[in-house]
Amino acid sequence: MEYVTAVPHPRSQAASPRSGRRSLAVALPAGAIGAAVALLSSRQRWSAATASVAGGDFPLTARGSDVTGVPAALAIVGLAALVAVFAVRRAGRVLVAGLLALSGAGTVAAALLGASDRAALDEKAAQASGDTSATVAALTHTAWPYVAAAGGALILLAGLLALRYGGLWPAMSGRYERDGTPRPRKAAAVDPDRPEDLWKALDRGEDPTGS
């Protein structure tokens, strides 16, 4: 009876490193751009309306940060997680990648929920009119909440790629990590013709006359 040994195809062996490089090339810009877009969108006007103040119409606007601070906060968390992915390995990388994905999903959800919000404008109307029951009229919304949601989707994409291919991504080199072991100090050169160098060497406990 003859036994046939399966030989792995060269293309299948090279598939994993290639997938790691491609996913990394997508995840890094997606996460960074997504975080920047979500932060920028939170500073823009999300809604506008008018309130009746002293018998007249008073224009009011609400920025994304007035409506909800969640997208901006999660964008910062996602950006930090994107950097931290390369500082950890194995299980730690999976946890950080999961945090990255959750940050993106939370940004999307918060932005979409805030797209039709009017509570921020009602609060401003109450402050402007001095009437706690005051509400706004002629309410309009902009597209910026959906832009913030798109930024969150990019962060989510980066997190999903990190979960799937993060094990193939490079990590920070261990040569940059200090183990805490004190390193020997190199003795400073002593010029015998300079008295101040001799005194400094004596203060360090060195023999300035030694060769």
Give, for all 211 residues of the chain, the pLDDT tens digit.
555 555 555 444 445 778 888 999 999 999 999 999 999 999 999 999 988 776 677 889 999 999 999 999 999 999 999 999 999 988 999 999 999 999 999 999 999 999 998 888 888 888 877 777 677 888 899 999 999 999 999 999 999 999 999 988 988 755 444 555 555 555 556 555 566 665 666 666 665 555 4
Distance of CA 108 to the CA centre of its chain: 15
Tell whether 135 and 196 lie within a shared domain. Answer: no
The sheet that has 137-141: what strands, in order across it? 56-63, 45-53, 137-141
Confidence (pLDDT) at 14: 47
Residue 178 maps to a domain: no
**What CA–CA distance (Å, rounded) separates 101 from 143?**
24
**What CA–CA distance (Å, rounded) separates 99 from 198?**
58
Q: Tell me 48's DSSP state.
A: E
Tell whether 89 and 147 lie within a shared domain. Answer: yes
Q: How much is the pTM? A: 0.72
Confidence (pLDDT) at 125: 84
Tell whether 47 and 87 lie within a shared domain. Answer: yes
Confidence (pLDDT) at 13: 45
Confidence (pLDDT) at 150: 98
Tell whether 198 and 142 lie within a shared domain. Answer: no
Tell whether 93 and 122 lie within a shared domain. Answer: yes
Confidence (pLDDT) at 185: 56
Q: What is the DSSP string of 11-33?
A: HHHHHHHHHHHHHHHHHHHHHHH
Domain count, the chain: 2
Domain hosting residue 200, numbered range: 185-211
